[in-house]
């Protein structure tokens, strides 16, 4: 088709569509919202996937995390008396054994966690008391904003040095500099040597790694915690007491080579199974495996969400077919006149198909432009949902917590794909009306009123 003829055909198509502005506009809306839904669905899927991947990456792509888990039988027999004290989880012997035998190990961090109350003057706060080493700061991507973190010297000398997380520092010391002050945890006083920056809470991953709010932590040398408080933990609730004995809550292994992570995880599992037997009191979490699973889920989300959104494009295509069939009926006499003046069937087909493509293409362009606003629209919806509908109370719901933190990510490859699909839908659903118009008998068409 010569370029001049193509331009004339497009001009006639636009002129014909503009004769029925409202009808053409409403038909175009089907394509607009179809393209927008494809882009928006994929953006939300990409945003959710990115959030999940960031949480996994925060665990460390070269790390292997082993957590203590209370067995079901231990949880069901938890006693309020002193005579029966459940003992479970990782042992210091496990840590030494794996540290000495794992050939690909770069470093290993033992961690002990206790739920305690920290007090300063008349202020008090429930905290997570974390016994760890100096490597804990780097592995968990924590940021120190004041003072220093616990050191190897603190471990050797068993100092009562602690580092406060952001929320703990602001709660216990709202008007004072906490560094150099002493806080009370249990019967022991600890000297504050540092303050951490704010850190976003991590979500739970599977059933083996619970969510962690780092802003409510107090960090202490693990050997100090072991000597001062021991392995026994007593909890008082509603007039009853529960007790348990745990040596280590977690061991984080940092592996030298990323290619050796899966093999190292197998060695850890085999070693622990040999010494723990059938007692399922630990779980091995490999962030690299979770990262691959998250990437597979992202691809599945894209396929599922994209397919669901594409259905709306098909609905828009049906609307285009409907309006074009009505147009053929309205313009039957025009078609007869054009045929009588020498227009070929291919010319009639091209004319009606061009109108369809213009309609679908225009809708596709507006749909893409609307799709680019998805992040801003999502923020507005989230603001209304969280601040007006829910009155800002999202702490009790993990679902709304995810909704609050998630940010849609425009998949830029989806823009040309969605536009191309819209044009393709226009061609497919416009071909039949165009062929029907071209096959009209010229004499019968001229007789049509």
Statement to judge: residues 50 and 77 lie in one domain: no
For the cut 60, the answer to whether the pLDDT of residue 81 exceeds it is: no
Tell me what the pLDDT averaged over the chain comes to.
Answer: 80
Residue 443, domain member (yes or no): yes
Statement to judge: residues 95 and 230 lie in one domain: yes
Statement to judge: residues 264 and 309 lie in one domain: no
Residue 25, domain member (yes or no): yes
Statement to judge: residues 358 and 214 lie in one domain: no
H/E element holding 6? helix 3-18
Statement to judge: residues 227 and 316 lie in one domain: no
Residue 195, domain member (yes or no): yes
Statement to judge: residues 179 and 83 lie in one domain: yes
List C-alpha distances in Å: 67 to 208, 267, 372. Answer: 7, 16, 43
| Residue 64, token pair as written in the block | 């292997």
Total domains, the chain: 2
> Residues 29, 360: contact at Cβ < 8 Å?
no
For 171-207, b/e burial (b = at least 16 CB within 10 A) is: bbbeeeebbeeebebeeeebebbbbbeebeebbebee
Contacts of 430 (CB under 8 A, 6+ apart): 320, 321, 324, 352, 353, 355, 356, 357, 359, 360
pLDDT tens readout for residues 123-164: 999 999 999 999 998 888 789 999 999 999 999 999 999 999
Cα(445)–Cα(11) distance, rounded to whole angstroms?
24
Statement to judge: residues 136 and 112 lie in one domain: yes
Statement to judge: residues 74 and 49 lie in one domain: no
Statement to judge: residues 238 and 140 lie in one domain: yes
> Residues 301, 48: contact at Cβ < 8 Å?
yes
Residue 405, domain member (yes or no): no
For 89-114, b/e burial (b = at least 16 CB within 10 A) is: bbbeebbeebeeebebbeebbbbbbb
Residue with structure tokens 């599945």?
300
Domain endpoint, select from 249, 280, 311: 280
Statement to judge: residues 168 and 215 lie in one domain: yes
Highest mean predicted confidence (pLDDT) among 109-118, 260-269, 277-286: 109-118
pLDDT tens readout for residues 270-289: 999 998 888 888 998 887 76
Residue whose C-alpha is closest to residue 34's, from 443, 437, 303, 417: 417
Domain endpoint, select from 225, 246, 280: 280
Statement to judge: residues 25 and 173 lie in one domain: no
Question: What pLDDT score does 334 carry?
Answer: 78
Statement to judge: residues 46 and 115 lie in one domain: no
The number of residues in the chain equals 449
Domain endpoint, select from 257, 280, 303: 280
**% the chain with pLDDT above 90:** 25
Angle at 174 (CA atoms; ends 173, 175), nearest 5 degrees: 95
Residue 354 lies in domain? 3-56+292-372+410-447
Q: What are phi and psi of 350, to 5 degrees?
A: -60, -40
Residue 250, domain member (yes or no): yes
H/E element holding 253? strand 250-255
Residue 385, domain member (yes or no): no
Question: What pLDDT score does 60 carry?
Answer: 67
> Residues 220, 161: contact at Cβ < 8 Å?
yes
**% the chain with pLDDT above 70:** 80
Residue 323, domain member (yes or no): yes
Residue 233, domain member (yes or no): yes
């Amino acid at each position: 088709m010569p370029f001049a003829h193509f331009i004339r055909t497009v001009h006639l198509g636009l002129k014909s569509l503009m004769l029925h502005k409202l009808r053409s506009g409403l038909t175009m809306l089907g394509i607009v919202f179809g393209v927008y839904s494809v882009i928006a669905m994929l953006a939300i899927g990409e945003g959710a996937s990115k959030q999940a991947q960031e949480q996994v990456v925060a665990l460390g792509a070269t790390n292997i995390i082993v957590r203590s888990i209370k067995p079901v039988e231990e949880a069901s027999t938890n006693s309020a008396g002193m005579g029966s004290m459940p003992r479970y989880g990782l042992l210091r012997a496990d840590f030494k054994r794996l540290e000495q035998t794992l050939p690909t190990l770069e470093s290993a961090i033992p961690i002990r966690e206790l739920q305690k109350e920290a007090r300063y003057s008349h202020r008090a706060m429930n905290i997570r008391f974390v016994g760890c080493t100096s490597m804990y700061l780097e592995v968990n991507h924590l940021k120190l904003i004041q003072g220093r973190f616990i050191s190897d010297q603190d471990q050797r000398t068993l100092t009562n040095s602690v580092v406060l997380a952001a929320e703990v520092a602001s709660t216990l010391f709202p008007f004072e500099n906490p560094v150099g002050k002493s806080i009370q945890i249990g019967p022991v006083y600890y000297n504050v040597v540092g303050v951490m920056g704010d850190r976003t809470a991590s979500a739970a991953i599977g059933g083996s790694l619970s969510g962690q709010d780092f802003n409510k932590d107090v960090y202490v040398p693990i050997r100090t915690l072991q000597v001062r408080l021991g392995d026994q933990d007593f909890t008082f609730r509603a007039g009853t007491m529960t007790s348990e004995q745990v040596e280590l809550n977690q061991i984080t292994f940092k592996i030298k080579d990323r290619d050796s992570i899966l093999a190292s995880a197998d060695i850890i599992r085999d070693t622990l199974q040999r010494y723990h037997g059938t007692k399922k009191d630990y779980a091995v979490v490999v962030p690299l495996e979770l990262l691959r699973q998250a990437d597979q889920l992202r691809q599945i989300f894209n396929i599922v969400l994209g397919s669901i959104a594409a259905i709306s494009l098909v609905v828009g295509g049906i609307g285009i077919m409907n309006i074009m069939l009505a147009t053929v009926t309205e313009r039957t006499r025009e078609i007869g006149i054009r045929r009588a003046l020498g227009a070929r069937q291919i010319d009639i087909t091209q004319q009606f198909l061009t109108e369809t493509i213009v309609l679908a293409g225009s809708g596709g362009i507006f749909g893409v432009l609307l799709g680019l606003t998805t992040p801003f629209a999502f923020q507005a919806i989230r603001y209304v949902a969280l601040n007006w509908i829910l009155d800002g109370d999202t702490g009790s719901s993990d679902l709304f917590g995810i909704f609050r933190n998630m940010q849609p990510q425009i998949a830029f490859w989806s823009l040309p794909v969605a536009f191309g699909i819209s044009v393709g839908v226009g061609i497919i659903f416009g071909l039949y009306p165009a062929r029907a118009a071209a096959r009209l008998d010229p004499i019968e068409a001229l007789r049509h009123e």
